[in-house]
Amino acid sequence: MKTGKSGKFLMSLLIAIMTVLSFHTASAHAAPDAIKPSECSTHIFTVYDETVGIGDIGHSRFYCGSINNGVPIEFSDADLEIAVDNPHMLHAYANPSLNSVDFEGLEKGDAEVTIYWKNKPEGTKYTFLLVQVK
């Protein structure tokens, strides 16, 4: 009888531990305290790779307010438009699964990426990235 109760207790304890671990794993991949562009009433700042090689991929991340204390921006394809002044030199595209705009170097030179935040309520609605392809 005691073995049955002990087995049930251990099984319940194991299930509880597995539940906590699975929640922790799922939440570790989510952006902590991330907000949508429509919730950012100040400037959207960016941290990005300013130089990429031909065939290399660069990334940019966005923050509301400031880079150091800003809240990460979480976006979808519907939240922004991306344009490159020289698309033969650099290919840029949204990567919502990583909350970044990624770009690939195609040809040597300088290219400017313009990001228009469609749903941003106030402040500057554009972000500009100057990328050098080496």
Answer yes or no: do 61 and 16 share one domain: no
pTM above 0.75, yes or no: no
Angle at 24 between CA 20 and CA 26, to 5 degrees: 120
Mean pLDDT, rounded, for 65-75: 88
Answer yes or no: do 7 and 51 share one domain: no
| Residue 130 contacts residue 112 (beta carbons within 8 Å) | yes
- pLDDT exceeds cutoff 50 at 27: no
Banded model confidence at residue 19, pLDDT cuts 50, 70, 90: low
Answer yes or no: do 58 and 113 share one domain: yes
Q: How many domains does the structure of the chain reveal?
A: 2
Answer yes or no: do 128 and 78 share one domain: yes
| Residue 85 contacts residue 96 (beta carbons within 8 Å) | no
The residue that leads in pLDDT, 100 or 32, is: 100
- pLDDT of the residue at 8: 59
The CATH number of the domain where 125 resides is what?
A: 2.60.40.10
Answer yes or no: do 21 and 1 share one domain: yes
Domain, as residue range, for 24:
1-30
| Residue 27 contacts residue 109 (beta carbons within 8 Å) | no
